[in-house]
C-alpha cells in the first residue's frame, strides 16, 4: 500500500508552506547521521536535495537467491526499473529496523523470516530520468524470506529471485535503480554472511 501517515509534531526545516495533514515526512539528518528535523518526502528529493534517513533491504531465499523487485510504473521516482528487495524511509521517530520490516511486508505481502543490520552508507545520487536526487543516509539490512509473496501492485510491478550470475546479466541488460549499485556494494559483507561467498 502507498505510504501515508499524518504529520509529526517534530519541527520541520525549510519545508514548503503547502504541507497538508496527508503529507509523508522523512527524518532529516546531519553528516553524522543525527536527526535534525523533518521534511516532506518529495520536497526532500528535489534538487538540491536534503540529506535524510533511508533504508535498503536485501532478502534471500533458502537457495541463496536474491529477491529483486521491479518498481511499479506509477511510482513518482524510478518507475519500472529493477531494484533491491525493498527500500524506503522510516517515519519520524520510527527505527530503521522497524521501518524495513514494516515496509517489506507492506510492499511484498511477506515479512522477513530473518532481518539483520548490515551497516550504513551515505550517498548523493542524481536521477537524470526524473530530475530528482537521492541524498540519503541509508541503513542496510539483509535477511531471509520464506513466505509466499503477494506484492502490492501499487508498489511492485514484478519480482524475481536471482543468483549472483543472473543479477550480473540482468544489470547488463536492464535498467536498475540509481541507488542499487551503491547500496548493493555497501551491503556485500552482510550479504555474504547470509547468502554465501558466491556473492
The residues with which 12 forms a beta bridge, in sequence order, are 38
Q: What's the rounded mean pLDDT across residues 126-140? A: 92
What predicted TM-score, i.e. pTM, was given to this entire model? 0.88
Number of domains the chain is built from: 1
The pLDDT tens digits for 40-95 are 999 999 999 999 999 999 999 999 999 999 999 998 888 999 999 999 999 999 99
Q: Could you tell me what percentage of the chain is helix, strand and coil, using 3-state DSSP and rounding each to the nearest 5?
A: 20, 35, 45
Indicate whether 19 belongs to any domain: no
Tell whether omega for the bond before 32 is within 30 degrees of 0, i.e. cis.
no
Indicate whether 12 belongs to any domain: no
What is the distance between the alpha carbons of residues 52 and 46, in angstroms, rounded to a whole number? 12
User: What CATH number does residue 127 fall under?
Assistant: 3.90.79.10
The pLDDT tens digits for 4-44 are 343 333 334 443 333 333 589 999 999 999 999 999 999 99
The residues with which 144 forms a beta bridge, in sequence order, are 60, 114
| 82-83 and 66-71 beta bridge pairing | antiparallel
Q: Which structural domain, as residue segments, surrounds residue 157?
A: 25-195
Indicate whether 73 belongs to any domain: yes
- Catalytic residue positions? 87, 136
Amino acid at each position: 500500500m502507498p505510504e501515508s501517515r499524518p504529520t509529526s509534531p517534530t519541527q520541520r526545516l525549510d519545508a514548503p508552506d503547502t504541507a497538508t495533514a496527508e503529507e509523508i515526512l522523512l527524518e532529516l539528518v546531519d553528516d553524522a547521521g543525527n536527526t535534525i528535523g523533518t521534511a516532506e518526502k518529495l520536497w526532500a528529493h528535489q534538487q538540491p536535495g536534503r540529506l535524510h534517513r533511508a533504508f535498503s533491504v536485501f532478502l534471500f531465499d533458502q537457495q541463496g537467491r536474491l529477491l529483486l523487485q521491479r518498481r511499479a510504473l506509477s511510482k513518482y521516482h524510478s518507475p519500472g526499473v529493477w531494484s533491491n528487495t525493498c527500500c524506503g524511509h522510516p517515519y519520524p521517530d520510527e527505527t530503521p529496523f522497524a521501518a524495513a520490516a514494516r515496509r517489506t511486508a507492506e510492499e511484498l505481502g511477506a515479512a522477513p523470516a530473518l532481518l539483520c543490520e548490515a551497516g550504513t552508507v551515505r550517498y548523493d545520487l542524481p536521477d537524470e530520468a526524473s530530475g530528482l536526487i537521492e541524498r540519503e543516509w541509508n541503513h542496510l539490512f539483509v535477511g531471509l524470506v520464506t513466505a509466499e509473496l503477494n506484492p502490492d501492485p501499487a508498489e511492485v510491478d514484478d519480482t524475481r529471485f536471482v543468483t549472483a550470475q543472473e543479477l550480473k546479466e540482468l544489470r547488463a541488460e536492464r535498467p536498475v535503480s540509481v541507488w542499487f549499485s551503491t547500496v548493493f556494494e555497501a551491503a556485500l559483507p552482510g550479504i555474504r554472511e547470509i547468502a554465501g561467498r558466491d556473492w
